[in-house]
Structure 1
């Protein structure tokens, strides 16, 4: 059984504790940024459809927030993501390159443009 199966098993086991219908769960999931349709989420709950990792984790987050609101200690685990590769870690996201092509974490793109 892989992590996706364990997560779905936990969701199906704990869903009644959340005191939500599938439709109510979907509405709360959608409100926190979920993008799958209600039919897709319901099919996922019955094991008839797979959701992408992010969407599964948003379902888990929705249930976890409901458990907290009900003062329950139940929690759905999040998906285990593979570790980032060395190439992924070396990518500099959000830093503007200096004029020499390197990145300087202390300067934003706006600062560089105003200097030029």
Structure 2
């Protein structure tokens, strides 16, 4: 039968392990910085500027920043100004449709008459 009580050493080992019980990799900051310097020239200018502005030193942080910039850009496209929020004069003149005038109106009426004849209305 296995021990039911855990010692402090066992708890420390479990704390170092990841959620799946696997040992997490130790990160080398020098290697991460070198990897970032190799990939940086191929990135878009906006992302390069953000990296310099935020003083980022690893590729994982760059991935997070890239997603944030992408989401911000997509939100600005999706959130268009709705018509009722635009500045529109509330007192707009209503057009008079009772008397058609002009070539386009006459042509439209003649086309509708032809369609009505074909349908036999």
**TM-score of Structure 1 vs Structure 2, range by shorter chain:** under 0.3
- More helix, by proportion: 2
Bigger radius of gyration: 2
Q: Which structure would you say has the larger RCO, counting Cα contacts within 8 Å and 6 or more residues apart? A: 1
With normalisation by structure 1, the TM-score equals 0.27
Q: TM-score, normalised by structure 2?
A: 0.26
